[in-house]
């Protein structure tokens, strides 16, 4: 099983600041099949990034994904008020599919 470790656990930032979230895998993720999701309370998760770097339909370009192999990053260039949420990475290469523990981006 591929274990995903997300860091930091919590990120305290102000609107307009840049957020950098990390997701590290215990082994190489084949074809970089790594996805990022945004989760808000009472709502289902929303797919942001697929295949490590591809923005999903309708996702603003302030969200970007990078990385390969075992180290991946989600960057939000300028935080908007609606971006404060919990973010999860998921590897979609090898069963069982696994999620990271999440990074909470909170308002400072």
Partner 1 sequence: EVQLVESGGGLVQPGGSLRLSCADSGFTSSTYWMNWVRQAPGKGLEWVAIIKQDGSDIHYVASVKGRFTISRDNAQNSMYLQMNSLRVEDTAVYFCTGGEGWTSSYWGQGTLVTVSS
Nearer to partner 1, 45 or 69 (CB): 45
Q: Is 38 in the site for partner 1 (CB under 8 A)?
A: no
Q: Is 28 in the site for partner 1 (CB under 8 A)?
A: no
Nearest-approach distance from CB 105 to partner 1, in angstroms = 15
Cα angle 86, 88, 92; round to 5: 160
Cα distances (angstroms) measured from residue 10 to each of 29, 65, 101: 24, 19, 11
Tell me which residue of 25, 22, 9, 2 sits closest to 103, measured CA to CA. 9
List the one residue from 47, 55, 69, 77 that touches partner 1 (CB under 8 A).
47
Nearest-approach distance from CB 75 to partner 1, in angstroms = 19
Q: Is 101 in the site for partner 1 (CB under 8 A)?
A: yes
């Amino acid at each position: 099983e591929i274990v995903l470790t997300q860091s930091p656990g919590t990120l305290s930032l102000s609107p307009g600041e840049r957020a950098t979230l990390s997701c590290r895998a215990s082994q190489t993720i084949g074809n970089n099949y790594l996805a990022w999701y945004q989760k808000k309370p009472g709502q289902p998760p929303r797919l942001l990034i697929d295949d490590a770097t591809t923005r999903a339909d309708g996702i603003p370009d302030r969200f970007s994904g990078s990385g390969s192999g075992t180290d991946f990053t989600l960057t939000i260039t300028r935080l908007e008020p609606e971006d404060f949420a919990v973010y999860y990475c998921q590897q979609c290469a090898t069963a069982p599919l696994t999620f990271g523990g999440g990074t909470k981006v909170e308002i400072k």
